[in-house]
Chain A
Amino acid sequence: MRPSFPRSLQTTIILLVAIGLVALALGGYFGILSDWFGRSVVSAQTWISSRYVAVVDFLAVPRDVASLRQRNAELEAEVAQLQRQVIELQQQVTETEMLSALLDFARANPEYTYKGAAVIGRDPSPFLRYIIINQGSNAGIRRGMPVVTHQGLVGRVDAVISEAARIQLITDPASAINVRLKNSETEAILVGSITGDLSLDMISQDVTVEIGDVVLTSGLGGNYPPNIVVGQVVSVRKRAYELFQQAAIQPVVDFSRLEIVLVITNFRPVDIAPLITTPVP
């Protein structure tokens, strides 16, 4: 059977309809229809996409949490390690500054030879003010050697064993040191106390002692080398009926924070005991 329309006519009609539809669409006659179609397509696309992402997330998230936890633990460990390093470096900086100051002191006073030592303890008895250092006779330290820091006088070696030594601080109640006041060029005796305060005694009444006067070792008695800074006068007590005036001294060394000290190893104290005559009964 032959078709009612020839093929070419069918094609022509289809083309004309198509062109007509396109022309109507471009002319805005299909707006409502195309909007509805577009919204439907976009909604369907959104729904499909969101479901796909949800499924992917559902499958992938547990692995991510595990890996995040592991990563978090790694980072926390790294932070802890870095914090440790920062603390260590800060300690090293503090120690380096202290050692640098000690080195400056040693360079400024080249007449002495020094042995550095760390403070490792304090005397168990609260009545005494001694410290323990980690250098002893094996390092050439001997009893009586003076001990200083870059700030000034600390004390002297009281007892020594092979690897450690005990230092009597100048703040010890039993300590008495011959000193001189730099400005007034007068001599006195520096004594410690149970509270750790320092005071000057045996200052002649006719000497004018000013607040702020610097106190140095005098070298008298042979127990300490001369001209080591001890402290400054902070107050003076002068009473007319007393034989001597007294003065309170602020030490230059912070004895509560002693960490590293220098032992002057080429100074040997002089024992003047045989020169002191004892009365014959």
Chain B
Amino acid sequence: MLPMLFAFPVLGLAIMLQTAIVSRINLLAGGADLMLLILTAWALQERVTTAWHWAALAGFLTASISGLPWFVPVIGYLLVVAGARLLQRRIWQAPLLAMFAVTFAGTLAMHVLSLIVLRLSGVPLPLEDSFTLITLPSVLLNLILAVPVHTLIRDLAEWLHPVSVEV
């Protein structure tokens, strides 16, 4: 229950930081996605059981602010968590490697989903420019931020899910 309650302040703060600061820091036309990084890091923690709840909340929070159709961030973040949980079971010995892999794949998935939906809704987005000017720089920024976010979220997860020691 406590980890779920913690989602509100953590993700609320994250969306504020995202819109106020992170979205202003651009590389070409791309930008980092703090929500995606937090969700990825959270879902990769072994003892965390509320990753899906966090993903849904993050999706709705982002949808309430962004001009994207509401289902894009919701589905996108759920996909990211699905990928992270899948990978967490396979390469749990190398959490940073998993973090990088999910960040890379998750950013691509989010962008492909956004691109498809926006193009279907009539926004003229050239594919090549979108990839080179938005997606690739966004992937790079996300990978740069992945390590500090993973460290912070790991500490949070360890604090919320302490290891029980049997004496």
Binding site for B on A (CB under 8 A): 120-128, 130, 132, 158-159, 166, 168, 172-174, 191, 194-196
State the main secondary structure of chain B at its contact with A.
helix
Tell me the complex Cα distance, A128–B124, Å.
11
Would A125 and B124 count as touching, CB distance under 8 A?
A: no
Would B15 and A195 count as touching, CB distance under 8 A?
A: no
Contact with A along B4-35 (1 / 0, CB 8 A): 00000000000110111011101011110101
- B162 at the binding interface (Cβ < 8 Å): no
- B68 at the binding interface (Cβ < 8 Å): yes
- Would A126 and B31 be within 8 Å (CB), given that A194-B126, A194-B133 are in contact? yes
Tell me the complex Cα distance, A174–B125, Å.
9
- Interface residue tally on B, bucketed by range: 35 or more
- Our count of residue pairs bridging A and B at CB distance below 8 angstroms stands at 83
Which of B65, B118, B124 contacts A124 (CB under 8 A)?
A: B65
Would B133 and A132 count as touching, CB distance under 8 A?
A: no
Would B65 and A126 count as touching, CB distance under 8 A?
A: no
Which of B19, B30, B126 contacts A126 (CB under 8 A)?
A: B30
Would A195 and B67 count as touching, CB distance under 8 A?
A: no
- B101 at the binding interface (Cβ < 8 Å): no
By a CB distance below 8 angstroms, the chain A residues around B18 are 124
Which of B16, B26, B65, B114 contacts A127 (CB under 8 A)?
A: B114
Q: How far is the CB of B72 from chain A (nearest CB, A)?
A: 8
Contact with A along B122-136 (1 / 0, CB 8 A): 111110011001100
Would A127 and B118 count as touching, CB distance under 8 A?
A: yes
Nearest-neighbor residue (CB-CB) of A126 within chain B: B31
- Would A194 and B66 be within 8 Å (CB), given that A123-B19, A123-B23, A126-B31 are in contact? no
By a CB distance below 8 angstroms, the chain A residues around B31 are 124, 126
- Would A124 and B15 be within 8 Å (CB), given that A130-B67, A194-B126 are in contact? yes
By a CB distance below 8 angstroms, the chain A residues around B26 are 126
Tell me the complex Cα distance, A8–B124, Å.
134
Which of B19, B20, B123 contacts A173 (CB under 8 A)?
A: B123
Nearest-neighbor residue (CB-CB) of A166 within chain B: B67
Tell me the complex Cα distance, A130–B134, Å.
16
